[in-house]
Structure 1
Amino acid sequence: MQLKVNGQDVDITLENEKTIGDVLASFEAEAAKNNATTVSIKIDGMPVSAEEFDEAAKNPIKEDTLIELRVISLAEIRDALSVSQNNLKSLSEQLLEIPAKLQSGDDKYADQIITNLADGIDSFCHTTTLCALFPEEYEKIKFDGKSAGEFFEDFAPIIADLEQAMSSKDTVTIGDLCEYEISPRLMSLAESISKYLGA
């Protein structure tokens, strides 16, 4: 049997493990000791979905079985949150420039910042989703006293308003939303992450 973790071969000695499920359970127990968890599994080159896992786990280990795991650690997630924090702070500052840029006719700059905003929020959401794999840590992160889900529930209508204003080229509303609604929230997110990472 061959085991690869994040693309690297891992030496593994089978003890009482007879099935793929046995191997994965032993690996996950070791990973948990190091604040890490498995995020994807391939067996013999084929991805295994959550729905297929129970069936795949019953398969016996063979000499030529290849198990490939993608593992993420809490340290990696904290690093990603640190990157997000800096990114959100920078975006918050850039959004404050949008009203003046739009008034001066510099739509291209404004469009670029808003594209960066979409990418930044997407990246942050992806990271917080991964953080949820570590429930104890996830509980510690609060954004304005709210969970990530609650924060974005409140934030989503504002982003929808921004999309509407952009499609109708309403530069006054775009500027107001960026300056008074979105920028402060991004700064608040950045400060919340900073508090969590510093705790």
Structure 2
Amino acid sequence: MTSEPLTDVLAGLMQELAAVLRVEPERIEPQQRFQALGLDSIRTAELMAALNSRFGTGIVPDALYDHPTPEALARHVRAETATAPGPGPSAPADSAEADICDALRGQLAGIVRCDPAKIDPGVPFRLLGVDSILAAEFVAAINDTYGLTERPVTLYDHPDLATMAAHIASTAGAVRPAPAPARPALTTGEVNALLDAVRADMLTVDEATALLASRPA
């Protein structure tokens, strides 16, 4: 794959960043640090999902530590586009799996705060910024929708939407009820509080999962 000119990559990155921050691109300086722009973990996940979809890359959220400004990240994105693989597999052809995949994409988009259309079913969850807390919330939503008892670690065995949809479709006794109202996504403050509690060993991931599952719909 041929790299795009750096100016084009930076322009595209600034557009996606502005959309995530809900500001005009002109208000962002390319040399300004992401931390100063208020880019928290949720917005970082949303930005990475948008950039990977736009440029066909597989950049992880941790890249912002080594490339802490839009200009630096644009250089990294440009370098990655030269070696990035082609697009991941599209949604499953089987109608049942495709319906499940679409439903999962909507749930995941609400959790990582991005447009569902920007999530490729073949992109690994880790590249979308799905950490242990977000994985717990996502799996809790799956269990509520399909009457399952999956644990967050199932995302390691089924690491993207396409394979997760196939797993749900093939699970004995799985039901596909009419879509229920989506569980409201956690606020940034709630996510950060759970992350802090897990990191401080005040909660285990399983305990955090139980708290998520007990939230009212």
User: Is the shorter-chain TM-score for this pair beyond 0.5, marking a shared fold?
Assistant: no
| TM-score normalized with structure 1 length | 0.31
Larger Rg: 1
Structure with greater strand percent: 1
Higher helix share: 1
Q: What TM-score, normalized to structure 2?
A: 0.30
